[in-house]
Amino acid sequence: MTNADEKFMQVNMGPQHPSTHGVLRLLVTTDGEVLSGVKPYIGYLHRALEKIAERVTYPQFSPFTDRLDYLASMNCNLAYAMTVEKLLNIEVPRRAQILRVIMAELNRISSHLIAFGSFSSDMGAFTPFLFGIREREFINDLFEIACGARLTYNYIRIGGVSKDIPGGFIEKTREFLDYFPAKIKEYNELLSYNAIFIKRLANIAVISPDDAFDYGITGPNLRASGIKWDLRREEPYLIYNELDFDIPVGKGEMGKTGDAWDRYMMRIYEMEQSAKIVRQCLDLLAPGDYTAKVSKVLKPPAGEVYVRAENPRGELGFYLISDGSTKPYRLKIRAPSFANLSIIPKLARGVMIADLVAIIGSLDIILPEIDR
Amino acid sequence: MAGYFKKMYHSISTVLTGLGITIKYGINPKTEVTQQYPEVKREPPEGFRGKLFVDINICTGCTACARICPVDAITLKTVRDENKKLRPVLFDIDNARCIYCGLCVEACPVDNCLYFEKKYEFSAYSKEDLISHFGLGEVKPAESKTEDKKTEAGKEGKEAAQ
Amino acid sequence: MTELINRILSGMSPTMPLTRLLITILIMVVSAAIVLAVSLLYEGFATYAERKVAGDIQARIGPNRVGPYGLLQFVADGVKLLLKEDIIPFYADRWLFIIAPYIVFTVSFAAFVPLSYSDHVSIANLNVGVLYMIAISSVVSMAILMGAWGSNNKWSLFGGMRAVAQIVSYEIPIVLSLLAAIIIPASLSMRDIIAYQSGGLGIFRWLVFNNPFTLIAFFVYFIAAIAEVNRTPFDIPEAESEIVAGYHTEYTGMRFAFFFMAEYGDMFVVSAIAATLFLGGWQIPFIGGIPMPVWLREVLQVGVFFTKVFLLIYVMMWIRWTLPRLRVDQLMELCWKYLTPIALFNLIGASVWVLLLHDRGVYDIIARVFTR
Ligand code: SF4
Ligand code: SF4
């Protein structure tokens, strides 16, 4: 150790730390309160999901995708199902497509609610967290009606969805959509536009568009930097091209474009947009099949596909190689949080410890997806 | 200087707005959303994925469920009885392994044979207690006796499931 | 209490010095025990109240299992903490680590002494009461640093440094704003200050309404006091999401409970100072002028005093469960750029007021206009 090093203190933030969103370990080098370097260490939640994929059949892997980003299981199910469908050339019935959009967008709302809540508790305000959870319970109830599970849904399957929505689902969803905007307004008044909150986040950890491209940042974090890139618009899948919704981008309302406040606010805006999408889909819903005819044993032709979808946390991609057997030859998962995490060491230089928490929270990473 | 006071005004006014929201919740007890769980139990909706149940008498022992299960939670052993029909003598579902994904239920070719119950409270003190045994046990070749055995085993299975 | 001792002793023959000494000590011990019992009871209920208030605000129920309405929750918590293993980290500085919680607790307990609970109920009517309170509450910062340093944990050290920086800084606005009030009754004794605020229906002669400057001073004091007792939005010394639990990260069981109780003790003390100096202490509003038996008056006065204190504590809890937390540098900014200058100018204004109008407040002036 040289003399220069002795000025600094090394602290382990995590894996047991209240605000590392799971089990992320950050080796933090600090000079008092000011950070001089951060090194993330991952792998504490490694379950070898990619290897498991090689050992189970195509339909069997679907429940495992629930466990990628467990706050947005529907979206993960969706991306996986679309990947296999592309390999098998399955045409999904329209009703199933609409149901998929409804579920994916509801799940986007519930995932963003957790992002909002956990971020607020990182910032020291605990009440918005419980408010977020309260609204999320409503969505969980909806999912429970639809598929019987509250967290690991395994609802969107290869070919369609696992079962049709029961009666009452549509009314309940409408009830939620009517009730939700008032709550968003409440969040904004309570937290988003709070002076302390803005002071903590404005101009903190600015990601410039160039940096965002360099590090492969996607999702709300990318859009916060002012880049209008959303796969639902750029490469429309399902019925997204028929739907009318805006893509919110960061404008630097409270400071520089791409700061932590912008990233946080993207999620609030996206919740509003998702609610709008769900409302349109409910109107579009017409009777029909909820799943395509899919044979029980799937044997896709040899070949490889890459499919990506817009997850709440960014682009989730599945790169699937098939050797013609019933099991994938190789499945590579491109997890959005992994790329988003990689920018932390760059952002967390010369900031304070409290800002590091704000950075992690505003990037909204989720560990099971990173470690896989 | 003007900025100084403007900042102060902004901070105070937004803080007061926030306080206004929380006090609304603070003084109105009707806003509580908690359910007092052990006293108030919520009724799971239709199609809730709770504990698995097998109606062993109509199970054909086709093993489709065991084969589709991604986590190998189902252990099945079948023998042929004297009518050359496959009978599941051993049918164990390890509730600790099961991830309640529902693939087995969808794979089962017999209606109302394998299904989820609405039960979600089945904690136990040991891992072994979490395995529900539905199997028929021995299948005797004699017709009449097999019938007796079947119903008994079915009952046992039900009891074990409870 | 000195008066009480004097009164009892005066009835005795002066020829028994030993008995006199014993009786003096006995009275001291008994009154200390009473204060300890009352303060422990208060601290227990304060923890219960905090959780209940949090529950109410967060649309939850809060503790309701132990005893009626969960009122005995603190007993259960206390028993739990007593039974916990008492861990002293191997590399801790044992001596500092062990005595720090006792000092923190003793200090917060000692601050109950000069308070005037009613016309006749007080432990000691110090003629330098306010000064004593300010002085003794500064000792806390030393004890916290001892505990933090003694734990030999980096997070604790962070917390300790933050706590000391914060408490020392915020003492300045506190003292300056208190001065603006003290110069009017021109006394440091709690009882004299309260006695000065009689009349005006028991409300309008409160020092907070005396002149515009005392009104501002009250708010400055209250904000700084929240910071002094380390509560959200100024809870950076124990910011859970940043530095785990701050200075008491390594403490377990009863030692942790001492820190915990001291926090609630401090809340009482700062609220009691606010009530005494600004809100008329035990002056009974509206019906104070009606003749009534002495015992009833005393009971009412104690009741009024505690009501005022608890209302202020409620406000502190309400603020805590609403706002996010400031960053450490912003905290200092608030102190040095806002509160201290405001308090300073305020003090000048108050002094000029007193110089020109002597101790006549707004109410006195209006009252005089009307009586003429
Ligand atoms: S629900 Fe899923 S995990 Fe459970 S037994 Fe059936 S297939 Fe296996
Ligand atoms: S799939 Fe159904 S019928 Fe076949 S073995 Fe399983 S439970 Fe029995």
Tokens encoding B66: 């065991």
Give the mean model confidence (pLDDT) for residues C328-342: 86
Distance CA C160, CA C150 (A): 10
C-beta separation of C82 from C254 below 8 A = yes
Instruction: Evaluate: CB of B72 within 6 angstroms of ligand 1.
Output: no
Instruction: Evaluate: CB of B69 within 6 angstroms of ligand 1.
Output: yes
Residue B161 has pLDDT above 60, yes or no: no
Q: Does B8 touch chain A (CB under 8 A)?
A: no
Which range is least confidently modeled, A134-138, C212-216, C230-234, C348-352?
C230-234
C61 vs B contacts (CB less than 8 Å)? 32, 34, 36
Instruction: Evaluate: CB of B110 within 6 angstroms of ligand 2.
Output: yes
What integer pLDDT is reported at residue C4 of this predicted model? 64
Give the ligand whose atoms come closest to the C-alpha of residue B114.
2
Q: Does C322 touch chain A (CB under 8 A)?
A: yes
Q: Which residue has the higher pLDDT, B114 or B154?
A: B114
Give the mean model confidence (pLDDT) for residues B135-155: 51
Task: Tell if the CB–CB gap between C322 and B31 is shorter than 8 Å.
Answer: no
Name beta bridge partners: A37.
A29
Which range is least confidently modeled, B92-96, B134-138, C230-234?
B134-138
- Dihedral sign for Cα A191, A197, A198, A204, please: negative
Question: Which ranges in A148-259 belong to alpha helices (H)?
Answer: 169-187, 195-201, 209-215, 220-224, 231-234
- Report the DSSP pairing between strands A156-157 and A34-41: unpaired
Closest approach of A189 to chain C, Cα-based (Å): 11
Residue A79 has pLDDT above 60, yes or no: yes
Q: Does B35 touch chain C (CB under 8 A)?
A: no
Q: Scanning every residue of chain B, which has its alpha carbon at the shortest distance from the alpha carbon of C341?
A: B4
Distance CA A340, CA A363 (A): 7
Tokens encoding C71: 């009122």
Mutate to test the pocket of ligand 2, among B53, B56, B57, B60 (most ligand atoms within 8 A of CB): B60
Question: Which residue's CA is the nearest one to ligand 2's atom 2?
Answer: B108
Distance CA C338, CA C334 (A): 5
Mutate to test the pocket of ligand 1, among B103, B106, B131, B134 (most ligand atoms within 8 A of CB): B103
**Half-sphere exposure of residue B47: CA atoms within 13 angstroms, side-chain side:** 20
How far does Cα A329 stand from its chain's mean position?
26
Closest approach of B15 to chain A, Cα-based (Å): 6
- B108 CA: nearest ligand 2 atom: 1
Q: Does B151 touch chain A (CB under 8 A)?
A: no
Instruction: Evaluate: CB of B105 within 6 angstroms of ligand 2.
Output: no
Instruction: Evaluate: CB of B110 within 6 angstroms of ligand 1.
Output: no
Give the mean model confidence (pLDDT) for residues C25-52: 84
A196 vs C contacts (CB less than 8 Å)? 233, 323-326, 330
Give the mean model confidence (pLDDT) for residues B62-74: 85
Give the mean model confidence (pLDDT) for residues C163-190: 85
What integer pLDDT is reported at residue C3 of this predicted model? 62
Confidence of residue C2 (pLDDT cuts 50, 70, 90): low
Q: Which residue has the higher pLDDT, A114 or B136?
A: A114
Residue C15 has pLDDT above 70, yes or no: no
Residue C149 has pLDDT above 60, yes or no: yes
CA of B117 to the centre of ligand 2 (A): 16
- B110 CA: nearest ligand 2 atom: 3
What integer pLDDT is reported at residue B141 of this predicted model? 56
- How many CB atoms are closer than 10 A to CB A28? 22
Instruction: Evaluate: CB of B161 within 6 angstroms of ligand 1.
Output: no
Average pLDDT, chain C: 82
Distance CA A190, CA A200 (A): 15
Confidence of residue C304 (pLDDT cuts 50, 70, 90): confident
What integer pLDDT is reported at residue B118 of this predicted model? 84
- B72 CA: nearest ligand 1 atom: 8
Task: Tell if the CB–CB gap between A125 and C54 is shorter than 8 Å.
Answer: no
Residue B86 has pLDDT above 60, yes or no: yes
Closest approach of B24 to chain C, Cα-based (Å): 8
- Report the DSSP pairing between strands A314-322 and A303-311: antiparallel
Instruction: Evaluate: CB of B75 within 6 angstroms of ligand 2.
Output: no
In 3D space, the residue among C218, C223, C315, C345 whose CA is nearest the CA of residue C276 turns out to be C218
Give the mean model confidence (pLDDT) for residues A211-233: 86
Which of C50, C57, C316, C346 is the mutation pick for testing B, counting most B CBs within 10 A? C57
Give the mean model confidence (pLDDT) for residues A94-104: 88
To which H or E segment does residue B76 belong?
Answer: strand B74-80
A29 vs C contacts (CB less than 8 Å)? none
The beta-carbon contacts of C336-343 under 8 Å, at least 24 apart in sequence, are C336/C169, C338/B8, C339/C170, C339/C173, C339/C220, C339/C223, C339/C224, C340/C172, C340/C173, C340/C176, C342/C173, C342/C216, C342/C220, C343/C172, C343/C173, C343/C176, C343/C177, C343/C180, C343/C217, C343/C220, C343/C224
CA of B59 to the centre of ligand 2 (A): 5
Confidence of residue C254 (pLDDT cuts 50, 70, 90): confident
Distance CA C217, CA A140 (A): 49
Closest in C161, C162, C241 to A124, CB measured: C241
Closest in A148, A190, A191 to B47, CB measured: A148
Give the ligand whose atoms come closest to the C-alpha of residue B58.
2
Note if the pTM is more than 0.95.
no
Name beta bridge partners: B144.
none
The Cα-based distances of A284 to A98, A357, C149, C348 in angstroms read 8, 42, 64, 70
Q: What is the pLDDT of residues B20-34, one digit of tens each?
A: 888 888 777 777 777
Which of B99, B104, B116, B118 is the mutation pick for testing A, counting most A CBs within 10 A? B99
Residue B150 has pLDDT above 80, yes or no: no
- Restricting to C residues 45-64, those with a Cβ less than 8 Å away from any Cβ of A are 54, 57-60
What integer pLDDT is reported at residue B93 of this predicted model? 86
What integer pLDDT is reported at residue A5 of this predicted model? 59
The C-alpha angle with vertex A217 and arms to A215 and A222, in degrees rounded to 5, equals 135
What integer pLDDT is reported at residue A94 of this predicted model? 86
- How many CB atoms are closer than 10 A to CB C25? 11
Question: Which residue's CA is the nearest one to ligand 2's atom 8?
Answer: B59
Confidence of residue A153 (pLDDT cuts 50, 70, 90): confident
How far does Cα A335 stand from its chain's mean position?
9
- B54 CA: nearest ligand 2 atom: 7
Q: What is the pLDDT of residues A13-27, one digit of tens each?
A: 878 777 777 788 888
Distance CA C125, CA C2 (A): 8
What integer pLDDT is reported at residue C355 of this predicted model? 83
Amino acid symbol at A181: P
Task: Tell if the CB–CB gap between A154 and B47 is shorter than 8 Å.
Answer: no
What integer pLDDT is reported at residue B139 of this predicted model? 67
The conformation of residue B85, written as its DSSP 8-state character, comes to -
Amino acid symbol at B22: T
Distance CA B85, CA B92 (A): 20
